[in-house]
Structure 1
């Protein structure tokens, strides 16, 4: 029987020699001084040798444990060397079956049942929020705490609904892996119970200026039609309702070449009942900051020949899809965190906070007027919608200067890719306008 003392005392000789232990386990001492654990056994009438590692990396105790495990396999009629080789192959295959590899296989298999834009959104959410954290780990070794760590990182940026959707997608990947025999359980299955609950009531909105700028930048860097990016920028600058952006017509804009540009949204297009829509003088007046006019200048070569600022890609006489801006925000990672309507809440929150510190008398009421809110104490028809127009223009400039401070000019948005592959819109992107360009005067119909 061997002992640690006897093994340590063994010196190298001119030829290799053995130090034997029980049940055919021995230590082979080589001329270079290395000491290797070996075990002889018989299987199916043949003599075989199995290596257990190098001493002292593998201790005497560990070598005996390896021998005993191998003997147990022999008792079951299995060849220990074959079992070891199969385990190594299984470990290698498990290493190859990373979460990202299996997730992409699942997505490729499942995407035929989805709309193309949804299929892209699903894959992008995994690429953005999951693969960087757990994508290179073997799917069979992932645990619930590790997956929860990835989901919590989504929650930490406020995207509560996105975290829940991503959990569902991770779980679907595990179901696929279980069906293929490369995972035994779904560690994401029960994690929904420990995620934050969805916020009820108000639509989600980012109301911190720094995060709002970052969100706009992230969305504008994503792939989209140029007019969708420009619609997002104009929506953020004007804080009108999304439907008012979608239906915007060139004839509604006044004095774009002068010092006091204005967007006159007809009462008929405003939110409200029939009485509001038929109200004389009920047009909503939106003073435009310089940055808003720059958006219109970038947009004019794309859609200035038509009636609508933001037409559908397929039908030029129809407005863009009501979901276009929302999908862009979702693709950028803000699903459940900010919606198109949320720019109104952002404008109201940020500008009211500014007004408390730096504003003038009545600024809070003027901000409500800019949002087309009617005070409860006022009768609809008696409300002066053109009131405080000069101060509204000043506040619009303050808002635009704050919002766009770190964002690129609108012309940059026109030349960014329209598709994930780097392609541009099917329509050719026109050249930029000359410096001396002037908008033609268009009169509002009716």
Structure 2
């Protein structure tokens, strides 16, 4: 006699501790465990062996659903398919799909890259993935992600007016798909097809301080009591040696050769996210640069970094430190930037007829073939570079002395 819901709800486990079976017909039965659990199973024969196919637990699986599952299983058996094996394979495929979701692979890619990334860079990538990427494609298996999925995601980021961020996100998604291909999980990289979807950003030229304003700039810097001496020296040095901001703030004492008056910035620190690899750079140090570095060493020589963070001597100052000082504490927002001092130096050196090749070499504007021979590149035009680095230092020191005279005059008045 077929089962009904009332019978199933009223069914109790056996007092003997054995399983109880209540049969519905067509090989479907309800198994009641000693603990009181109720499970629908189907008895069938496959390849000469009796087997039990587990359909599911009651009441999560209703009696009607169990009967339908039994019919489906009987059709599979008639076609020579084992329903138990098919269910196991489907479960394995489901588990594999969970492991191959974009979020799972992205986190695996991120973890594998942690040793070669700086902490703040790794944190920034994961922050953008969690905020902008995972909510859209995180739960989708990588093989099922289409170009339209990524295009929609990038469009929503660009709608916030941060096109550069959208481009970074596209690059990270592409790197994750390449990682997936390396693991032989996927073959296509839909992010690569969207390379031209994000419009090119217009080149933004960094504001460069007009040279006639240099004395006033120095005057403000000298008088600023709210700027630590370490950071004042950082600004004076970036003006003197006109390296890039990341090259200066990441400077390490082991790179400075006081005896030979030079600073060797290694090739691994000359790299930048959007730049091709560059060779090491030799920075000839003027007399004034040496004086400033010697003073700085008394302040920060306890750290391996020339410009350590205030909160952690094992980390250097952030990429925004000098820019914020120039903008907010010195009042030059929109008028001067750390990078802009490179343009000040370049234009002045060209105007005074110094060798163009030497200037470009010192600015680390490297031709692609120059990266092949780092040592030869470091020594290229060295006499001319030593000459104009001292000349430029003297030029700036004269403006610095003018600032001191301005301060003395103000005091006298």
Give TM-score, length-normalised by structure 1. Answer: 0.43
Higher relative contact order (CA 8 A, sep 6+): 1
